[in-house]
Amino acid sequence: MCGIFGIFGHPEAANITYLGLHALQHRGQESAGIVTTDGRQMFVHRHLGHVADAFSETDLQRLPGHAAIGHVRYSTSGDSHIRNAQPFAVDYARGSIAVAHNGNLTNARNLREHLEARGSIFVSNSDTEVIVHLIATSTQRAVQDRIEEAMAHARGAYSLVFLTEENLIAVRDPYGFRPLCLGELDVASSREKAVLIASEGTSFDLVGARFVREIRPGEMVSIDRKAIRSTMPDLLAGLSVDHRLCIFEYVYFARPDSVINGNSVYTVRKAFGAKLAEEHESQADLVVPVPDSGVPAALGYAERAGLPFEMGLIRSHYVGRSFIEPQQTIRHFGVRLKFNAVASHLRGKRVIVVDDSIVRGTTIKKILLMLRHAGAKEVHVRIASPATLWPCYYGIDTPTRSELIASTRSNDDIRQFIGADSLGFLSMEGMLSVVDHSKDATRVCSSFCDACFSGHYPVPYDDSIPPRHLRLVGN
Ligand code: AMP
């Protein structure tokens, strides 16, 4: 998963983008990058690691200009390497173009084979580079037309921001898999307003911008010095079937303080929890969330079940990427580094533990051991989404089927494996009933992609061509 940001018409474009990326850090922690333009040239800085570590004050000063795009990356396609860090920026016969991408193209390998056969040479193994080559080889004149033509070849999930010397352009795929929204910001030194694009509106709050609206599936928004234009390009709209906003954005990925498709993510998560309580009630003394991802759902569960809510697990937010493990092996060190149980509130209690999802099942298993060690008498696990059974091809990093615990084990096998007294998942119907907008014309997306739970893939994944062998090593 990734986060993207863009701004046009602000004298501090790089600084605002840097802050915007901070608010999107949850969408990707592997690398961060910003490209700016002053109308004549482009300036690029990309670095591995978190936003705070990727840019120094000097780095930001070296990114002048009134327009910028930025990206935080969580690799779902291509290795974790600086060459795959985004935004991608290239020069070609018609100027320069940079792109930041959230989503995964399902036919990237095929497109790449095709482009290579025509002479394109790739520097990365990320699917996003394919987009740049398609634009460079387009026969159209205007950059908007070149982008439209390029994206008409692409399949799968893409929310994109492009930067040229003259334009900032945002595009959302016709299915609307990934969120994308539009904002505006007053510019102190003039009466103009800067235009902003971001994966999630929380980044607008941080920079003092206003949320204007969500970008529609299949929409292109093009901004230059004179105007902001919205179009529904025929080549993209022609591909549209149903809208397929990723439901996992609500379950886990988006920040709870974001609004997606007109819904507060926090409210949706609480409603998932309440529904879960209706579907899987249990005699218990208290409800404990797995922080942070399980908190809103646990609140909703506790409220509906009429049970006390307690922070029986405390999460450390300061776990760095590298730490020194003691020489004497400590069992389950990794999870202890992140969580600890509050024994005083758990001893002798029947506890309901609520989390957002189970993927491999390893985290919850260790948490349960911790709770029992702290004296919990019974531990009942409630998961605020259905069992994750299928991998995602549209930008969420879910493992292969064999690694997904629910794809090979029955409910009772999972219960035994994780060591729970009982286990309940939110049903598919329960989940969809919370977010059903099929009859609400004011929403930009009318329906959802739930492939990770249902196996119903709206766009087939094209793996007919074997994986690339280019491995990127070192820095
Ligand atoms: P596990 O079952 O041990 O693989 O981990 C499940 C937990 O990881 C869930 O409770 C989520 O909070 C979190 N999670 C779910 N999906 C993802 C993802 N794609 N990337 C990172 N963490 C995730």
Domain's final residue, options 182, 215, 241: 241
Residue 464 CB: number of other CB atoms within 10 A? 9
Residue 357 Cβ contacting ligand 1 at under 6 Å: yes
Residue 358 Cβ contacting ligand 1 at under 6 Å: yes
Both tokens assigned to 222: 């093009």
**Whether 214 and 342 share a structural domain:** no
Ligand 1 atom at minimal distance to the Cα of residue 362: 3
Cα(358) to centroid of ligand 1, in Å? Answer: 6
Both tokens assigned to 395: 């930008």
In a domain, 450, yes or no: no
**Whether 258 and 226 share a structural domain:** no
Q: How far is the CA of 269 from the CAs of 123, 180, 384, 416, in angstroms? A: 41, 20, 8, 27
Residue 293 Cβ contacting ligand 1 at under 6 Å: yes
**Whether 303 and 354 share a structural domain:** yes
Q: How far is the CA of 419 from the CAs of 156, 330, 363, in angstroms? A: 38, 20, 12
pLDDT at 470: 41
Residue 397 Cβ contacting ligand 1 at under 6 Å: yes
In a domain, 41, yes or no: yes
**Whether 213 and 293 share a structural domain:** no
In a domain, 197, yes or no: yes
* Beta pairing partners, 73: 2, 31
In a domain, 256, yes or no: yes
**Whether 235 and 256 share a structural domain:** no
In a domain, 445, yes or no: no
**Whether 230 and 352 share a structural domain:** no
Which pTM was predicted? 0.94
Number of domains in the chain: 2
**Whether 108 and 218 share a structural domain:** yes
Ligand 1 atom at minimal distance to the Cα of residue 392: 19
Residue with tokens 């992609």: 449
Say how far apart CA 307 and CA 223 lie, in whole Å.
51
Q: How far is the CA of 437 from the CAs of 244, 263, 444, in angstroms? A: 12, 10, 9
Nearest-Å Rg of the Cα atoms of the chain is 23
- Ligand 1 pocket test, candidate residues 77, 252, 402, most atoms within 8 A of CB: 252
In a domain, 467, yes or no: no
Domain's final residue, options 241, 266, 294: 241
Ligand 1 atom at minimal distance to the Cα of residue 293: 12
Cα(86) to centroid of ligand 1, in Å? Answer: 24
Residue with tokens 């608010």: 23
Residue 246 Cβ contacting ligand 1 at under 6 Å: no
**Whether 219 and 290 share a structural domain:** no
**Whether 176 and 226 share a structural domain:** yes
Cα(338) to centroid of ligand 1, in Å? Answer: 14
Cα(121) to centroid of ligand 1, in Å? Answer: 36
**Whether 38 and 106 share a structural domain:** yes
**Whether 306 and 203 share a structural domain:** no
Q: Find the CATH number of the domain harbouring 42.
A: 3.60.20.10
φ/ψ of residue 48, rounded to 5: -75, 150
Residue 385 Cβ contacting ligand 1 at under 6 Å: no
215 contacts 22 by C-beta, under 8 angstroms: no
103: left (phi over 0), alpha (psi -120 to 50) or beta: left
**Which residues neighbour 373 within 8 Å (Cβ) at sequence distance 6 or greater?**
341
Residue 76 Cβ contacting ligand 1 at under 6 Å: no
Say how far apart CA 176 and CA 154 lie, in whole Å.
14
Active site annotation includes 392: no
Cα(397) to centroid of ligand 1, in Å? Answer: 9
- Ligand 1 pocket test, candidate residues 319, 359, 393, most atoms within 8 A of CB: 359
In a domain, 74, yes or no: yes
Q: Find the CATH number of the domain harbouring 279.
A: 3.40.50.2020
Residue 19: which domain range?
3-241
Residue 396 Cβ contacting ligand 1 at under 6 Å: yes
- The enclosing H or E element of 382 equals strand 378-383
Residue with tokens 């969809």: 432
In a domain, 459, yes or no: no
- pLDDT tens for the chain, 475 residues: list them: 899 999 999 999 999 999 999 999 999 999 999 999 999 999 999 999 999 999 999 999 999 999 999 999 986 666 678 888 999 999 988 889 999 999 999 999 999 999 999 899 999 988 999 999 999 989 899 999 999 999 999 999 999 999 999 999 999 999 999 999 999 999 987 888 999 999 999 999 999 999 999 999 999 999 999 999 999 987 776 555 689 999 999 999 999 999 999 999 999 999 999 999 999 988 999 999 999 999 999 999 999 999 999 999 999 988 765 566 666 777 777 788 899 999 999 999 999 999 999 999 999 999 999 999 999 999 999 999 999 999 999 998 777 888 899 999 999 999 999 999 999 999 999 999 999 887 888 899 989 999 999 999 999 887 554 444 444 444 4
**Whether 233 and 291 share a structural domain:** no
